[in-house]
Structures are given as structure tokens and as C-alpha cells.
Chains A and B, each alone.
Chain A
Amino acid sequence: MSDDYSDDEYYYDEDEDMMDADDGDSAPSDEEMDMEVFDNDFKLPGKARKKSYEVDSEPLSQAQVERLMQTDIEHISGIFGVDENVASLLLRHMSWNKERLIEKYMDHATAVSVEAGITPKEEKPAKAAASSRAGSSSTGPQRSTRSSKSSNKLKSPSPAPKEDEPYTCPICFDDTQTRTMALACGHAFCSSCWNAYVTGKIREEGEHWIRCMAEGCGLVCPDPFVREALGEDKATWNRFRELLVRHFVGCNKNLKFCPYPNCTYTVACPAAASKSALLSIVPTVTCGASPDHKFCFGCSIETDHRPVICAIAAMWLQKCHDDSETANWIKSNTKECTKCQSTIEKNGGCNHMTCKKCKHEFCWVCMGPWSEHGTAWYSCNRYDEKASQEARDAQSKSRASLERYLHYYNRWANHEQSAKLSMDLYKKTEQKMEEMQISSDLTWIEVQFMKKAVDEVFKCRMTLKWTYAMAYYLDRGNPKELFEDNQRDLEKAVEDLSELLEQPIEPEVVPSLRQKVTDKTVYVQKRNEIMLEDTANGFLEGRWQWNTSVPGLE
């Protein structure tokens, strides 16, 4: 059952793609620190109130986050009277919790400095190696002929090279190395070993907390030491800076690092910083690097799962995951024509299917004849609770609940699949747009309505998809009925537009098609707005009633 190991005690280190924070911006330290914009509480400049399904957020570049870090560092450096690099290590050690750091440091400055890898421990620590217990030698045998002195390392101690003696680095044994480096502990190694070590920690392990190479030494490399060890390797230095920023962001509930590959932007969204806030808002945010970098500030389930809140989206996906075996058959891309039983493959986003063989027209979702959908759109979106009631009498309860689930799952998965197929639709649409330019006198700008329509269809299918997850958990009653009315209206509008887009284009109908598509797009947009707005308001008002307990609610 569990191929998912993420929560387990260990996980595997698949080759994580190393994101190269390529050069880009220069060191932020010298730039002006305009901190008013962004005070400690991350209050955002008063913007006009947005729609209820939108959330206030602020994109921050890496340099801007570095400035926030620098402010904390200067603050601590000033209070404690320590070097900024020391302040930085102290803050990183305490997960950037200034208050706790100040409290602890005031009482136990030395102990904190040792823990933070700034000053060496007083006594030579008896190193408890590996998983073995510290005093293992008491039970152990006399175990080695040569490592009697508590040390497992090779025989060379590491003194700083003396003027006259040739220096041999105890790690690489390369006696041509002349430059050595050491932290405050005095453990000297050649700079080439330091370079390889620091580079490996940053590149391979994504580590910013880099300890001394000596066995059991707890000292940590401060930033200037890292920089010196890296020498001319600017790319790795930038990666190190990015790691520092990621750590800072990870320690701050108001901040999230953009999850898109190679992006170094951060988003501040104080409105979504608490768990309780996530029960009434869906914080879909965009980073400053690109409008395509959309993600949910509250979870990593999906980039935009509006209108459902994170907790319900998570519940639904978990259910789908658990029930995937049973539901698998539905996912399949082929179905049989209800009339002639020939296999039909769904290859467009539209639900209006026409059998190539017998020309039977039917709805992909409910498999009912399309004629019943055309003018009198029957409730294809709504699971007939009454019918389900009857089913409950006739069949076992579990069977009925499976059918209920499948009803919602079917529609959920269908919108997902259709949205995926929209990518093909984009390509087809581009072709059509080119044809249109040739066959009509419309300009490139004037045929953009087609692309706009496809965009809108894609967006609305995402909304629709999640409305089915929501409807599955909504308790019966008036609010749910109104919800499903909105859902049905949106769905019908989307299917109509979708079908219009798949029609072949005859030159003579282009002007009227353009009008129709434009009108429908506007309408679909409006329906989507209503769906999102009303659902978001429902969450804010606490209007929604659930048929199951939602984690965090009540």
C-alpha cells in the first residue's frame, strides 16, 4: 500500500536537481535598506481590497530577502556586540528566532556560542563515534594496536605548517599544497581540501551549516570562510547564498520560497501564515519572477486548488489515492459507444462525443445521449441523492457509497483530463488562428480571442475539478444546492465554449464565430468569478457544512 516513503524515517536522495542560482543580482549588503516597506510583522502596504478569493501577497527577490536577513544580523550584532558573521551563525543556529536567541544568549552566552559552532568546546571532547555508545571501550576489547589515543584518524596531527618544514595535509597527503586554512579551532587543512569539502557540502548536500573537517569538531564555517574556501567559484557561492535565504525563509511562517525550478523568489503572505487562516482562505500566490509561477502558499498539493481549502483538497487527494484501485477503470481514456459498443477515444477537451461509427452523440461524463444535454441540460453535475437513497435500499451501503464517490471522482478526473488535453487544444487553436488570418481579413491581434477562450476554458476546468472534490464533502442542504447550481451553470458554459472551439472553421462563419466565442468567453469568465467568489465568501462566513470532519475545523 505504501510506496510513499516521504514521512518515514529515511528517504532516498534522488538526484535533486541542483539549481544554479546563476550570477544575477549583486551582493545586497551595500544596497540601501529600505525596511519600512517590510517591517518585522511583514505588514503589506495597503492595497485595494481584492476579490474574496484572492489573497494579499508580496513577491520578494533574493536580494530583498537578504536585506531582511541583514537587518536581523545587524540587530543581533548590535545587541551582543559581536561580529556580523558571528551574529549570522547565532541566528541560523536558533532558526532565526531573535527573541529566543536573545533570551538564551543573555543567560548562557558561552554555551550558545559552542552550540552554534562559533567557539570550540573547552575540553577535548571524547568523541562518541557513530552509533556506538560513548564509553564503548569499557566493554570493548583492547581494540587497536595504534589508535590508543582516542583517535581513529590517520597518524598525522594537523599543525599549521612551520616555516621550514614542508607541510603535508592530513587529508590529501599532497605535500605540494602550500596554503592552509583553519577555523578558530586551529584544525588546519590545505585550501584545496577545504575547497573540495565546502563545494561538496553546498553542491551535493545543499548544506549551509558546514562544520570543520576535523573529526568531532563542532565549529562551523562563517560566510567569509566559505567564500574564501570557494575561491573563484562564484556559482557555488551563489548557491550557498541561496541556501541561506532558503533556510531563513523556511524559518519564517510569513514566507515561502517559490517552488518552481531555478526560481529564487520568495513570496510573503502573512494572511496565510497561520493554520487557522487556511481554514477560510485559499492562498493562491504568484512569485515576482513570472506570472506563471503560481502556487498555493498553504500546501504543495496543487498550484491552484481554488475554490477548496487546503485541508479538503488534501482529504480528497488522499481518498483518491486510497481508492485508486477501484477507480482506475474510470481514468482510462477509452470508453465504448453506448449504442454500437465500438471503442471511442477521447481526444479533445469537449464532453460532447460523437461515435465515428454510428454517429451516436452522447455525453462523455454521464454517457447519456447528448440530445438531453443540449437545450435542457439535465443535472449531469449533481449526484442524485434521491436515487442514491434508493440505491442504498437496494444495495449494500458500501456499494452505494462507492457509487457516490465514483460520481464525484468521475467528474473530477474528467476535468483534469480535459484540462490536460487543452494543451493539444492550444496547438490546434494556433493553427486555426493562422488559418483565420489567411481566410479572413482579421489581424493577428484580432484572432487572439481564440487563445483567450482556450485559456479561460483551462482555468475554469481547474475550478470545476476542485468543485467536485468540495461537493463530495458538502453536507446536503440549501447551501450545497446553491453551490451545485453555480457549478452546473459554470460547467454548462464551459462545455458550450469548449465545443465551439472544436468546431471546424469555415471562412464565411469567422465573423459570427468570433462574436460567439467572445461572448461565451466573457460569460464563462463571469460564471467562474461567481463560483470562486461565492465559495470563498462561504468559507469566510462559515456557511459550508461538511458531511465528515475536516481536520482543523470544529
Chain B
Amino acid sequence: MAGIASRRLQKELKEIHTQGCPVGIQLLNADNFEEWHLSLEVMGESQYQGEVFALKFRFEPQYPISAPAVQFIINEKYKAPVHPHVYSNGHICASILGNEWSPVLSVIGVCVTLQSMLASCKKKERPPDNDRYVMHAPDNPKKTRFHYHDDTV
């Protein structure tokens, strides 16, 4: 099978164009089937009121069989949210991006999940192992085998 990613992403793109993105999520750029950028905003009352974040999705040819590599973009315009599951380099410790990934999940599905992850945050802080992780982290977060932090945190 020569990579099912393009057909699948085409389908996702079409759905986004016909139905629009959920509130607070916007497609910034989806020029190819290797990397997409989306912006993310937590609506309503939350710790992140007024903050806009951006997500980078990287797809392998086997997407969605294999999970996309997802991280927060850090540049002049965007910062990574301060959150117990988000490292200061933008890497995210979330089980759905790792061993809980399901091929029926989509780009928008991931965004919505991350949006609600931020929405439910009570206290803005970095993961306890942030410094150590960031110092040794690989470029691609998929290379990291996270031990998922306690989901109730």
C-alpha cells in the first residue's frame, strides 16, 4: 500500500472546507500531505483566556495507521501553553498521540481533544520533568516514549 495518508488527508481537508472547523480551531496551512498547521484557542472561561496557540502536525505515509507527530509551534508569534502535559519545547505528553492513538481519530479530533485538555486545566505549570526532558528531547516527539502522566492531574 503506497501510503494511504494522501487520500485520507484529502478527505479530512474536504470535510474541513465543507463543514468548517470547530470553534476556536483554524486551519493555518495545509499545502501538502506532510505537514499541517492549525491554530488553537480555548473558548469560554479558562486559564488560557486570550491566548492563541498553534499546532504542527507531521504525517507519515502510513497516517492514519500511524499517529501523526503533533507539537505546539514556538516562534515569534506563538508559544507553547503552560500546562502540566506540555513541555516548554512544544512536545505534548498525551496518550492519544502515542499508544492510545486510534486510526479513526483525525486532525480535527486531535485538536478538539487538546483543546479540552487545556480547557480543563486548573493550574498553569510545566511538567515536573520539563527541564530534563527538554534538554534531551529528540526533534520529533514521536521518538519519545512518554510515560503518560496521571490523567487526573
Contact = CB atoms under 8 A, between A and B. Distances in A.
B8 A171 contact: yes
B27 interface: no
Interface string B114-153: 1111011000000001001100101000011111110111
A136 B114 CA distance: 11
Contacts of A145: 19-20, 22-23
A193 B1 CA distance: 9
Interface string A161-203: 0000000001111100000000000000100110111001000
A142 B23 contact: yes
B28 interface: no
A213 B145 contact: no
A130 B46 contact: no
A192 B3 CA distance: 11
B47 to A, nearest CB: 10
Interface string B18-34: 01101111000000000
Contacts of B119: 136, 139-141, 143
A145 B112 CA distance: 10
Nearest to A14: B143
Closest 3 CB pairs of A and B: A141-B44, A144-B22, A152-B109
Contact of B152 (A5, A133, A143): A133
A153 interface: yes
Nearest to B84: A131
A133 B109 CA distance: 16
B114 A197 contact: no
B104 A196 contact: no
B102 A12 contact: no
Contact of A200 (B24, B62, B115): B62
A216 interface: yes
A132 B113 contact: yes
Interface string B65-93: 11000000000000000001100000001
Given A139-B120, A145-B22, A152 B113 contact: yes
A71 interface: no
B65 A200 contact: yes
A98 B85 CA distance: 38
Contact of B151 (A11, A133, A154, A155): A133
B22 A215 contact: no
Nearest to B43: A141
Given A137-B116, A143-B116, A215 B102 contact: yes
Interface in A1-55: 5, 8-13
A204 interface: yes
Tell me if B's interface is mostly helix, strand, loop or mixed. loop
Contacts of A155: 15
Interface of A: 5, 8-13, 128-134, 136-137, 139-147, 152-155, 158, 170-174, 189, 192-193, 195-197, 200, 204, 213-217
Contacts of B52: none
B113 A153 contact: no
Interface of B: 1, 4, 7-8, 11-12, 15, 19-20, 22-25, 42-46, 62, 64-66, 84-85, 93-97, 100, 102-106, 108-110, 112-117, 119-120, 129, 132-133, 136, 138, 143-149, 151-153
8 contacts: A130-B95, A130-B151, A131-B148, A136-B117, A136-B119, A141-B23, A152-B113, A217-B102
Contact of B94 (A131, A139, A174, A214): A131
A238 B22 CA distance: 45
Contacts of B62: 196, 200
A196 B2 CA distance: 11
A131 B93 CA distance: 7
B22 A154 contact: no
Q: Which of A139, A192, A204 has the most CB atoms of chain B within a 10 A radius of its CB? A: A139
A154 B106 contact: yes
Contacts of B24: 141, 143
Contacts of B46: 139-141
A216 to B, nearest CB: 7
A140 B120 contact: yes
Contacts of A143: 22-24, 43, 112, 115-116, 119
B42 to A, nearest CB: 7
A139 B103 CA distance: 28
Contacts of B25: 144
B113 A130 contact: yes
Contacts of A217: 102
A545 B23 CA distance: 72
A180 to B, nearest CB: 14
Contacts of A196: 1, 4, 62, 65
A10 B100 contact: no
Given A196-B62, A200-B66, 14 more contacts: A9-B146, A12-B136, A129-B116, A130-B95, A130-B113, A141-B46, A142-B23, A144-B22, A144-B108, A152-B112, A153-B104, A153-B106, A213-B103, A216-B102
A179 to B, nearest CB: 14
Contacts of B133: 9-10
A195 B42 CA distance: 38
Nearest to A133: B120
A160 to B, nearest CB: 15
A87 to B, nearest CB: 25
A115 to B, nearest CB: 16
Contacts of A13: 143-145
B67 to A, nearest CB: 10
Q: Which of A137, A140, A146, A170 has the most CB atoms of chain B within a 10 A radius of its CB? A: A140
Contacts of B96: 129-130
Contacts of A131: 84-85, 93-95, 117, 148-149, 151, 153
B54 to A, nearest CB: 18
B147 A10 contact: yes
Nearest to A205: B99
Q: Which of B44, B100, B103 has the most CB atoms of chain A within a 10 A radius of its CB? A: B103
A213 B62 CA distance: 14
